[in-house]
Amino acid sequence: MTPELSIVQLMLNASWVVQAVVLLLVLMSLLSWAAIFRKLGTLKRVKGKNDDFEREFWSGTNLNELYAAATQNARQGGPMERIFASGMREYHKLRERRISDNGALLDGARRAMRASFQRELDVLESNLSFLGTVGSVAPYVGLFGTVWGIMHAFTGLASLAQVTLATVAPGIAEALVATAIGLFAAIPAVVAYNRFAHDIDRVANGLETFMEEFSNILQRNLGVHPAGPTGSASTY
């Protein structure tokens, strides 16, 4: 009999509690892998779109032209482009209200970008807590199945007059399978959680740096063009 079939046979002969624990762990593992692949794709798209927009931003394109393009491309754009659009939108709204104080204009644009940044960060961090939960809880769920299985095995042995290794081993083996599957579910989740947390921190740092640079450009732009930001990023 192959090892795979022996494990299946052990699970078929296990108590219903151990079977339920194993099924729960398998489900957790499948969901965590789905979240991992989905997050990998999301982060790859975000990095690509941010790089494309930042390249265009520093290429000398007029800020108003960038804003018009970002407004039309709101759904397909990346986080950096949406943050830029939020800052420019708030800036134009304040200008339409005839607010001429440069400090108020800059503060309004910064607040709008900060709010947009937080929304983007919340989207990037979605499902991250689930991976952390799987990584921390799955081993304990597996351990519970193991403890229950061993208790069940020894309870069954109590009625036997003679106990040998052949009678003890199957019960302990089926109990230990729960711990093995718990570790199998937890280890990839922990590795992915740490990797994604690092990648999201890098993206967040890049967005914060962009917000500071764009705020500085707006500040310099206000000094040169009191009527509004009409220059390009590379001009300043």
Residue-level pLDDT, tens digit, the chain, 236 residues: 444 446 666 666 667 787 888 899 999 999 999 999 999 999 999 999 999 999 998 988 888 888 888 888 877 889 999 999 999 999 888 888 877 778 888 899 999 999 999 999 999 998 899 999 999 999 999 998 888 877 776 776 666 556 555 566 666 777 788 888 999 999 999 999 999 999 999 999 999 999 999 999 888 877 645 555 555 564 44
Give CA 19 to chain center in angstroms: 31
- pLDDT at residue 159, as a whole number: 65
- pLDDT at residue 11, as a whole number: 67
Query: Which residue's entry shows tokens 């009191």?
Result: 226
Q: Strand, helix or coil at 232?
A: strand
Q: State the distance between the two ends of the chain, measured CA to CA, in whole angstroms.
A: 74
What tokens appear for 116 in the block?
A: 């947009």
The candidate with the shortest Cα–Cα distance to 12, out of 167, 173, 129, 163, is: 173
Q: Count CB atoms within 10 A of the CB of residue 188.
A: 16
